Copies of this chain bind each other. A is one copy, B any other.
Amino acid sequence: MPRKVSDIGEKGLIKRILGKTRKSDFNSIFLDNFSFKSLSDDAALISLGEQYLVVTSDMLLKSTHFPDEMSNDQIGKKVVTVNVSDLAAMGAKPIGIIISMGLPRNMLLDEFEEMIDGILDNCLEYGMNLIGGDTNEAHELTLCGTCLGIVQKENVLMKDGAQPGDIVAVTGSLGLAAAGFEVLFNRSKFKDLNSKYKEHVIKHALNPKARVEEGILLAKSGSVTSATDITDGLVSEIDELINASSFGIGITIYEEKIPISKGALEVASKSNKDPLEFALYYGEDFELLLTVKKDIFEQIKKEIPLYKIGTVTSSGKIEILYKDGTKNTLKPRGYEHLSRK
């Protein structure tokens, strides 16, 4: 039977594209002062003197990215945040976003206006503006953002530099968005959940923020060896850093060090789920995952709140050291578009 795109999933498809682009004479496309660095992730770097212009693009669709619980304002905010988060992971300052829209015919004008307000509010929050876009008719609401940012070349954060001995850290609590969606999708189970926790986790699910300031500060520190944003789950992103590195690295994380907030713990407990699952395998937290030179970590931590969660090894594997002292190897199984699951 002929194979379908869902048989190989997002990562397999991207590998096929990269295989083909490497075959074409990519290196001949260096023009004047404009040289490109194309990445295995969603961003392209354009060389401009001492800076890179970073260009990233992310498409969001109703059926995959916008649950019914999300307001139009939150939908607009999310397309901005998702794109800005890719820039944050590279230490770039956002300067503008273009948004192409596919709109269902029957979308109400009021809904459209709320969505645009959400887009513009978040642009302002991230210190940039909406600089272009187009509108089309679509079966399902589809928003494609293209975000531009700038970063000093010497500071840019990439996925590929982690080395054995580096410390692995994240910028904040993990599993909050997962806990939020758990509450939203099973409201009845959580009637007696403390409203403070409820609001906290739901806010992270419906109105996430990108770690722009942290990304810029980390980039300026000059001691981050690799970085990415956590959109598809911690283990999946760790796998990305391992695959990007040319040093044949592995990463070991420590269960006891993984920051999981009280709210996420409560939600997991009430739904009989493992809070560690929320933290390891669910995405949408938009925290940054990074590796830092060991001897400089404590110094950076004074300026930017960071949680050490593990170390870079030379094992070639993702390993977890549980609280009880046992060790296990983890397989990446974060959210992947078009995978069979």
Contact A131 B38, beta carbon cutoff 8 Å: yes
A129 to B24, CA, bound (A): 9
Quick one: given A29-B129, A127-B29, A135-B337, are A146 and B55 in contact (CB under 8 Å)? yes
A144 to B64, CA, bound (A): 17
- Name the one of B36, B108, B124 contacting A2, with C-beta atoms under 8 angstroms: B108
Closest-CB distance, A70 to chain B (whole angstroms): 17
A38 to B130, CA, bound (A): 9
Query: Quick one: closest B residue to A101, CB to CB?
Result: B59
Count class of interface residues, chain A? 35 or more
Number of identical protomers: 2
A137 to B140, CA, bound (A): 12
Contact B21 A130, beta carbon cutoff 8 Å: yes
A2 to B108, CA, bound (A): 7
Quick one: given A36-B129, A102-B61, A129-B36, are A137 and B338 in contact (CB under 8 Å)? yes
Give 19 new A-B contacts, CB below 8 A, not counting A5-B109, A61-B138. A4-B107, A10-B135, A25-B124, A26-B129, A34-B95, A38-B129, A38-B132, A43-B132, A44-B98, A46-B96, A46-B148, A55-B131, A57-B134, A61-B137, A61-B142, A63-B137, A63-B138, A136-B338, A138-B142
What is A's interface to B at a CB cutoff of 8 Å?
A: 2-8, 10, 13-14, 16-17, 20-21, 24-26, 29, 31-32, 34, 36, 38-39, 42-44, 46, 48, 53, 55-61, 63-64, 93, 95-96, 98-110, 112-113, 116-117, 120, 123-124, 127-140, 142, 144, 146, 148, 150, 337-338
The list of the 10 closest CB pairs from A to B, nearest first, reads A144-B144, A59-B100, A44-B131, A146-B146, A3-B109, A6-B105, A44-B132, A57-B98, A29-B129, A5-B107
User: Could you jot down 21 A-B contacts, CB within 8 Å?
Assistant: A5-B104, A5-B108, A5-B109, A6-B105, A7-B109, A10-B134, A17-B116, A21-B129, A26-B129, A29-B129, A36-B95, A38-B129, A44-B132, A53-B53, A55-B131, A55-B148, A100-B144, A102-B142, A103-B338, A105-B338, A139-B140
